[in-house]
Amino acid sequence: MKRIASLFWVCFFVAWSCASQEFSAEQQNRNAIRVCFYNLENFFDYEKNPAKNDGDFTPEGANHWTKTRFENKAKNIAKVFVAMGQWNLPEIIGVCEIENETVINYLLHKTSLSAGKYEYIYYESPDRRGINVSLFYRPDKFRIINSYPIAIKDSLSPSFKTRDILYIQGVIVADCEDTIHLFVNHWPSRYGGYAVTIDKRNLTAATLRLKIDSLLLINSSARILVMGDFNDFPDDESLTHYLRVLPDTVNYKEGNLINMMFPYLHKNNIGTNKFQQQWGILDQFIVSSGLYYAKSGLRTISTGIIFSPDFLLDDDSKNMGKKPLRTYAGRKYVGGFSDHLPIYIDLKCGE
Q: What is the pLDDT of residues 124-160, one digit of tens each?
A: 999 988 899 999 999 999 999 999 999 999 988 888 9
Residue 2: its pLDDT value, please? Answer: 36
Return d(Cα 268, Cα 332) in angstroms, integer: 29
Average pLDDT over residues 267-271: 90
Average pLDDT over residues 193-197: 87
pLDDT band at 175 (very low <50, low <70, confident <90, very high): confident
Please state the domain count of the chain. Answer: 1
Return d(Cα 324, Cα 273) in angstroms, integer: 7
**Is the pLDDT confidence value at 206 over 50?**
yes
pLDDT band at 8 (very low <50, low <70, confident <90, very high): very low
- What is the DSSP code string of 174-198? SSS--EEEEEEEEPPP-TT-HHHHH
| Pairing mode of beta strands 245-246, 278-280 | unpaired
Residue 116: its pLDDT value, please? Answer: 96
Listed range (20-24, 246-250, 289-293, 313-317) with the worst mean pLDDT: 20-24
What residues are paired with 300 via a beta bridge? 347
pLDDT band at 351 (very low <50, low <70, confident <90, very high): low
Helix, strand, coil percent values for the chain (each to nearest 5): 30, 30, 45
Element (H, E) at 237: helix 237-237
pTM, two decimals, is: 0.91
pLDDT band at 53 (very low <50, low <70, confident <90, very high): confident
For the chain, give the percent of residues with pLDDT over 70: 91
**Is the pLDDT confidence value at 12 over 60?**
no
Task: Decide which of 255 and 70 is more confident.
Answer: 70
CATH label of the domain that carries residue 333: 3.60.10.10
Return d(Cα 135, Cα 95) in angstroms, integer: 6
- Domain that includes residue 284, residue range: 2-348
Q: In this structure, how many other beta carbons lie within 10 angstroms of the beta carbon of residue 16? A: 15
